[in-house]
Amino acid sequence: MGPLVPDFIGNELNFVVAILIGIAFGFILEQAGFSTSKKLVGLFYGYDFTVLRVFFTAGITAMIGVVALGHFGLLDLSLIYVNPTFLWSAIIGGLIMGLGFVIGGFCPGTSVCAAAIGKIDAMVFVLGGFIGVFIFAEGYPMFEELYKAENLGFITIYDLTGTSQGLFAFGMTAMAVGSFWFTTWVEKKVNKKENPELQPKKLYLGLGLTLFVIGFFTLFMPERRVELLADASAAANSTEVNTMSVDELAFRLLDQDKKLQVIDLRTAKEFEKFSLPGSTNMTFDELFGKDAHKVLALKNKKTVFIANSEAEERKAAFIVSELGYRNFAVLEGGLTTFKKEILEYKADKEPVTRQEKDTHIFRTRAAKELPALIAAAKKSAAPKKKSSRVIGGC
């Protein structure tokens, strides 16, 4: 599951990846004609809309891809970098950049491309960029208030407007296609002839159709996460699942079994108050993420789900079995039973048979020793390590 950094690709290797991605980025920008200011500003004077075409097509392709990958559970969207939103600085910064665009004829990425193929005006623009950042850095105390005003956090536009992700993506696509049609018409009026670069039409009709099909499936097929969560309650009791008895769990805990992994599904508050040694707190949503994968994919471990009731545990078991994991069990009777039978163990009748006697001895010992282990674990508990969002941006 993506993103591959930092688990599959280390931070040092990531710099090599950066160079390779940069090479492709520079190559595509230059091939698209972004290394000439005449072409870049054409968009603002109506004679050449290349920038708009490339930019919107790229944005939509990537956007549909991201939505689709997240939708089908291949990319953990909670881990990717979403540019933070600071309302006023975003608007004012954007307007200043727009002004810089029509005066200078480039934007930073394109100026680097143009400078690389020998455009002197682009080299001057790059130098100007350094000066601009320097002015900001030196004047930071003056800009800081504006820079940090109206912090809305790492929000997405569908959070902000309350529409669904798929619907918004579709709206953006429709807007882009509309603008392609409109700008082609404008371009023809301004230049008084057809743009020869827009041939062959079949090519981009094909591309458009591909994106449309992916987009269609993404929008109208139920999201896997939502679907599974909805099915889980109903299917929980009818699914066969490995169970672990309260005695086995107690034994493994006392033994400080390194192979045991406990996933605690209760709320964070309950978990804070009381938790088993070495257990990890997860929500149902988090079962779909990368952190859960790291735990569940380990083959030589014994993973057990605990919750207050066994039914809750079975819900989680259903979800992860649908996700393709096999190596897990649920705690028989849930944590409620575990507390009653082990931690607060009291013999209600005299043990008679050999087995009853063994159980009695074990549970008496567990009731005495486990609370100490739990207390010790709480004291020494390492701060919870969760995968965090990648930090990106300019």
Q: Which of residues 4-63 bind another protein (CB under 8 A)?
A: 4-5, 9, 14-33, 35-39, 41, 43-45, 50, 53-63
Asked if 393 touches another protein (CB under 8 A), the answer is: yes
Residue number with CB closer to another protein (197 or 348) = 197
CB 252 within 8 A of CB 39: no
Residue number with CB closer to another protein (57 or 281) = 57
Paired sense of beta strands 260-264 and 328-331, if any: unpaired
Considering only residues 358 to 377 of the shown chain, the ones binding another protein according to CB under 8 A are none
Smallest gap from Cβ 337 to another protein, in A, equals 41
From candidates 71, 113, 277, 325, binder to another protein by CB under 8 A: 113
Smallest gap from Cβ 386 to another protein, in A, equals 14
Separation between Cα atoms, residue 302 and residue 185, nearest integer Å? 64
DSSP state string for 295-350 = HHT-TTSEEEEE-SSHHHHHHHHHHHHHTT---EEEETTHHHHHIIIIIT---SS-
Phi, psi of 228 (to 5 degrees): -65, -40
Considering only residues 179 to 238 of the shown chain, the ones binding another protein according to CB under 8 A are 180, 197-200, 203-204, 207-208
Smallest gap from Cβ 214 to another protein, in A, equals 11
From candidates 98, 178, 222, 371, binder to another protein by CB under 8 A: 98
CB 386 within 8 A of CB 1: no
Smallest gap from Cβ 293 to another protein, in A, equals 15
Residue number with CB closer to another protein (138 or 285) = 138
H or E element in which residue 86 lies: strand 85-86
Using the structure block, give the residue that is written with the tokens 């079994």.
257
Paired sense of beta strands 151-153 and 243-244, if any: unpaired
Residue number with CB closer to another protein (99 or 375) = 99
How many other CB atoms sit within 10 Å of the CB of residue 107? 17
β-pair partners for 243: 330
Considering only residues 155 to 174 of the shown chain, the ones binding another protein according to CB under 8 A are 155-160, 165, 168-169, 172
